[in-house]
């Protein structure tokens, strides 16, 4: 019986953590939608474009 109660407690804690995560990320999405509707993430740079910029500017500066 103790194992079942322990399992229920673990599942309840896990569900509370998931629920708090959903609330947190929903609030972040609300802030983004309200204050920065057209903001683009700066880390969406393709690897090819990053290599192109590296070769164009940094490699040229080293020579």
Chain segment 15-58, per-residue pLDDT in tens: 999 999 999 999 988 888 888 777 665 555 567 777 787 888 87
- Which range of residues forms the domain containing residue 48? 2-62
- Give the contacts of 39 (CB within 8 A, at least 6 positions apart): 32
Q: What is the pLDDT of residue 20?
A: 96
Position of tokens 């880390």? 43
Q: What is the pLDDT of residue 37?
A: 76
Query: In which band, very low, low, confident or very high, does the pLDDT at 14 lie, cut at 50, 70 and 90?
Result: very high
Beta carbons of 48 and 55 less than 8 angstroms apart: no
Pairwise CA distance, residues 61 & 2, whole Å: 68
Q: What is the pLDDT of residue 18?
A: 96
| Number of independent structural domains in the chain | 1
Pairwise CA distance, residues 13 & 2, whole Å: 16
Position of tokens 């599942």? 11
pTM for the whole thing? 0.53
């Amino acid at each position: 019986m103790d194992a079942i109660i322990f399992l229920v407690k673990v599942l309840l804690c896990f569900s509370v953590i998931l629920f708090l995560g959903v609330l947190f990320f929903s609030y972040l999405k609300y802030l983004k939608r309200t204050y920065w509707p057209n903001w683009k993430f700066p880390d969406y740079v393709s690897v090819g474009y990053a290599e192109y910029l590296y070769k164009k500017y940094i490699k040229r500066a080293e020579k």
